[in-house]
Chains A and B, each alone.
Chain A
Amino acid sequence: MANDTANGPTIRLPWAGKWVRIEEIEQRLTSLWSMSLDNLRTGAGANINVRTSVLNLVICAPDVETAALASKVLRDLASTHLSRVAIVVLDSNESVSSLSAWVTLRCFSMISDLMRHCFEQTTLLAKGSAVRAAGNLLQPLLKPDLPVYLWWLGDPPDLDDPTFQNLVNLSNRIIFDSTSFFNPELHIRSLTNLFRAAPDSAISDLNWGRLTGWRELVIQFFDVPEYRPFLSGIHTIEIEHAAAPLAEPGRTEDGDVSPNPIRALLLAAWLKERLGLTLSAYRGNNHHHTASGSYHWEMQRATGPRATGQLVSPRSKSGRLGGQPASITIRPIVHSEMRPGSIALVRLVSTADNKEATFTIMRDNDLEHVITSVELGQETRQKRIVSLTTHHKESDLLREELEITGHDYSFEQTLQEIANLLDAEQ
């Protein structure tokens, strides 16, 4: 292994703070705290700077550039009361193995200069076979008694990868962002497999947070007692997702993968699960075009929507059978303004008491708003313009996930359902 620790690394990372020998990380962090306290104004009533600590955050990045971007995102996360952050760059492509570390204390004003929230950030760069040491290096760096959140940047790795396994074992929650998955279908299945393989770790996907507004609007339709009976009569679900005008699947100039049906799949799977829809035995009309990102499933509708009650682990879920035909369709719509994968339309068609109702949420060219509407028979009810942006700050999405403790069963059930849907292709 190259001895970076003797003379310092060959690479400079100004954003990561001061280079330190691995064995001196803790000592150096302590001295940074001391310097911070010395610098703190100590007028009457001023506080000794004792932190409120809520969590450890470990960020795994495939390269230094991605790590630098993630480090920037942390600036907006002070309100989550991070205690300690470890950014780990795992560069296994290097032939020469080496380990380097940098430390810094990052402080952000909370209310005034007198009140600052600080957290410690350690950056580890592991190259070559040294990536295997990442889990071991992290162990002593984690603040005790606080949960560990692992934010994995990029595609999910091979689940048998020992480095990844080590990191998963020490984490309470693993956070991905499926919008950046290079092979959306393959990699979203990996998340399902990870969920099955590591049941003790909760799994999050920032893409799920991008759907919160859409799910809320769908739910709101059925908060209205008049429309509640239509919930059990939903027989047609249509979802459109934006795709870039590319000749064939690939990355756009902005680096987005197109088509990327993951958000549409998540929404469809959530609806399927919540509405108690089951896959039809007849699969003749099911189809799937990877190249375009379009899907169609024939379903069966249960006699009523899933009953309300305590959510249980998806492992104990039992399927329900029903007899009414239903369908779910996902299709891409070429849109040059919207980022690939963004939801453009959700339409639910239902029949109850011999009346047909159509519930629609649609985005035209307005990237900040959607229009919701209800058609009951021939009558179009109140249309509503709702603020719902296509652009979500990564830090906001990440903060949402960091605020969750324990499993997000709704998401994990949805992941399972995606696997069921993809397995049911013709």
Chain B
Amino acid sequence: MPQRSVVEAPNPLREGIRIKNSPEPCVMVIFGATGDLTHRKLLPALYNLALEHPLPAGFSVVAFARRPYSTEEYRQQALESINQYSRQKPVNPQVWENFAAGIHYLQADFNDPKGYEKLNNLLNLLDQERGTGGNRIFYLSTPPSQYPEIIQRLGAAGLNRSRKGWTRIIVEKPFGHDLGSAKELNRQVGKVFKEDQVYRIDHYLGKETVQNILVFRLANGIFEPVWNRRYIDHVQITVAENIGLEGRSGYFEEAGAIRDMVQNHVMQLLSLVAMEPPITFDANSVRDEKVKVLHALQPLVGQDVVTNIIRAQYGPGWLSTGQQVIGYRQEPGVSPHSTTETYLALKVFIDSWRWAGVPFYLRTGKHLPKRVTEIAIQFKQAPLMLFKRSEAYGQVEPNVLTLRIQPDEGISLKFGAKVPGTEMQIRSVNMDFFYGSSGFREQPEAYERLLLDCMLGDSTLFTRRDEVEAAWTFIQGILDSWKNEPPETIQTYESGSWGPQAADEFIWRDGRRWRRP
């Protein structure tokens, strides 16, 4: 029978239906299936998809890892993880039974060709037994150092394409640790897979409110006319965490905040908020515009790195949870002389007609007072202050439009209003929109959305090769400059505070101040 993609030939019964498409039956092969990401995110996301119907009958998982487990043992572990981490608890026994029947464990070393031979045989068997039709997704959930080996072995075993059906590969972040390694990884991937088979996942893009940035900007006629240098004074993007290393000292020592947060999440938010409207809402049109923003970033090199970047490490202190914590250099697995930053504040400019001269202040950090991600657009003051002679003088604050990504997803607009009374007193008030998901309606986790999109062949919310490289090109300039800086340039901030004093001074110099999210 002819093999047609569901995406290419929509099911006519779906017309007018309010529910999400269902993918074709497929197998997801998870490399690194015993790892934290698989147990905390991937298995619960797949189970939730099975529970809420989008997964087709026959959907299967092959857990590929080195540890010596049987399929039964692995299923038991998967059940425990789902019970612990799924947003839908407790596990529904009937649905689990059905889902578990499709999980198979394959023990092999990532560098062992025989493992891939066994994988090939198992996939063919599943095609026959479960009707998966040659459709495969390979999910790289291993440490990044393993990626090249796995990709090369998949190619050598001929698993990069199937005789019938489709083959896709999901690559978890980080996509390289610098520009050179990112290009090399892309080259390795490109040798084995075509770009349209590659899905680079950054779970931030699966969040409802991140997607809402585009809807907010492009579905509302009133914002686009003021979304430019003429009306916007500056933009602040904050990605704050109140946690520390959480046992990932080895990774973080190598990565630092710049690789862990800025190169991926912060750059994604920046490009979504600053991009031009795409000509259509298909995957490549959206990504074309995002890439243009990254290309237009004014490089930070030389003296700019000193003046436009503050980097710091957390010291001891008390968190907002009441927990007393040690400093970064005292953390297990961290060098007492480490210069890895846990906090980073940057001022960047986008050289485009829309944004020329508008500073974008970006900051991220660990052990900050709260977990929050938001984009704040601060508008310029009204051109003429009519209330100079009244009591209102000095009370009029600029309008701020805040897009809150997490928690309390929503949008706020701050504007001035007269306080009722005979005096001309002005007070800033917030008009809040709390996203529908807040509190009452459970929304799918980011991974659920992204895994489903990959199964459906929709790559809009995944990162393209040139996008990754453009982000790294900008970051690489900073990394190169840091190499020449003495270690003393890294500041310290008290855990539980909003970062070092130098970060405040850094923005005060521009006559602005950080928001308190």
Residues of A at the B interface (CB closer than 8 Å) are 45, 47-48, 50, 52, 76, 78-81, 109-111, 115, 117, 212-213, 215-220, 222-226, 228-229, 231, 274, 305-309, 311, 353, 366, 368-369, 372, 374, 381-387, 399-400, 404, 408-410, 413
Residue of A80, A225, A372, A410 with most partner-chain B CB within 10 A: A225
Residue of A81, A115, A223, A413 with most partner-chain B CB within 10 A: A223
**B1: interface (CB < 8 Å):** yes
Question: Are A111 and B13 also in contact (CB < 8 A) when A52-B433, A387-B94 are?
Answer: no
How distant is the Cα of A404 from the Cα of B19 in the complex, in angstroms? 12
When distances are taken between beta carbons in the complex, the residues of chain B under 8 Å from A308 are 10, 12, 14-15
A-B pairs with beta carbons under 8 Å apart, 24 shown: A45-B516, A50-B432, A79-B438, A111-B438, A115-B434, A216-B19, A219-B19, A220-B56, A223-B14, A224-B131, A225-B4, A226-B1, A226-B133, A228-B4, A274-B15, A306-B15, A368-B92, A374-B57, A385-B95, A387-B94, A387-B95, A400-B18, A410-B17, A413-B16
Taking the nearest CB of chain A, how far is it from the CB of B440, in angstroms?
A: 4
**B11: interface (CB < 8 Å):** yes
Closest-by-CB residue of A relative to B432 is A47
Residues of B at the A interface (CB closer than 8 Å) are 1-6, 9-19, 21-25, 51-53, 56-58, 92, 94-95, 97-98, 130-131, 133, 407-408, 412, 417, 429-434, 436-441, 516
Contact A382 B57 (CB under 8 A): yes
Q: What 10 pairs across the A-B complex have the smallest Cβ distances?
A: A410-B16, A79-B440, A384-B57, A48-B429, A52-B433, A385-B94, A219-B13, A382-B57, A223-B22, A110-B439
How distant is the Cα of A172 from the Cα of B5 in the complex, in angstroms? 38
How distant is the Cα of A102 from the Cα of B24 in the complex, in angstroms? 54
How distant is the Cα of A217 from the Cα of B131 in the complex, in angstroms? 17
How distant is the Cα of A144 from the Cα of B171 in the complex, in angstroms? 50
Contact B131 A226 (CB under 8 A): yes
The number of inter-chain residue pairs (CB within 8 angstroms) is 149
From the candidates B19, B22, B436, B439, name the one contacting A111 in the complex (CB within 8 A). B439
Closest-by-CB residue of A relative to B97 is A385
From the candidates A213, A220, A307, A382, name the one contacting B130 in the complex (CB within 8 A). A382
Taking the nearest CB of chain A, how far is it from the CB of B314, in angstroms?
A: 24
Taking the nearest CB of chain A, how far is it from the CB of B366, in angstroms?
A: 23
Contact B434 A311 (CB under 8 A): no
Taking the nearest CB of chain B, how far is it from the CB of A227, in angstroms?
A: 9
Q: Told that A79-B441, A223-B22 touch, could you supply 10 new A-B pairs with CB distance under 8 A?
A: A52-B432, A111-B408, A215-B19, A368-B94, A385-B95, A387-B92, A387-B94, A399-B441, A410-B16, A410-B17
Contact B439 A79 (CB under 8 A): yes
How distant is the Cα of A366 from the Cα of B429 in the complex, in angstroms? 53
How distant is the Cα of A309 from the Cα of B9 in the complex, in angstroms? 11
How distant is the Cα of A309 from the Cα of B407 in the complex, in angstroms? 39
Closest-by-CB residue of B relative to A220 is B22
Closest-by-CB residue of B relative to A310 is B15
Taking the nearest CB of chain B, how far is it from the CB of A306, in angstroms?
A: 5
Contact B12 A50 (CB under 8 A): no
Contact B98 A384 (CB under 8 A): yes
Closest-by-CB residue of A relative to B135 is A225
Question: Are A81 and B436 also in contact (CB < 8 A) when A47-B430, A410-B16 are?
Answer: yes
How distant is the Cα of A69 from the Cα of B302 in the complex, in angstroms? 69
Taking the nearest CB of chain A, how far is it from the CB of B92, in angstroms?
A: 6
Contact A311 B16 (CB under 8 A): yes
Taking the nearest CB of chain A, how far is it from the CB of B134, in angstroms?
A: 11
When distances are taken between beta carbons in the complex, the residues of chain B under 8 Å from A307 are 12
Question: Are A216 and B53 also in contact (CB < 8 A) when A48-B430, A225-B133, A308-B15 are?
Answer: yes
From the candidates A212, A274, A383, A384, name the one contacting B12 in the complex (CB within 8 A). A274
How distant is the Cα of A17 from the Cα of B13 in the complex, in angstroms? 47
Contact A231 B6 (CB under 8 A): no
Taking the nearest CB of chain A, how far is it from the CB of B62, in angstroms?
A: 17
When distances are taken between beta carbons in the complex, the residues of chain B under 8 Å from A353 are 1
Closest-by-CB residue of B relative to A370 is B94
Taking the nearest CB of chain B, how far is it from the CB of A46, in angstroms?
A: 9
When distances are taken between beta carbons in the complex, the residues of chain A under 8 Å from B434 are 52, 110-111, 115, 117
Question: Are A231 and B13 also in contact (CB < 8 A) when A48-B429, A225-B2, A387-B94 are?
Answer: yes
Contact A224 B53 (CB under 8 A): no
Contact B439 A216 (CB under 8 A): no
Contact B436 A79 (CB under 8 A): yes
How distant is the Cα of A109 from the Cα of B440 in the complex, in angstroms? 10
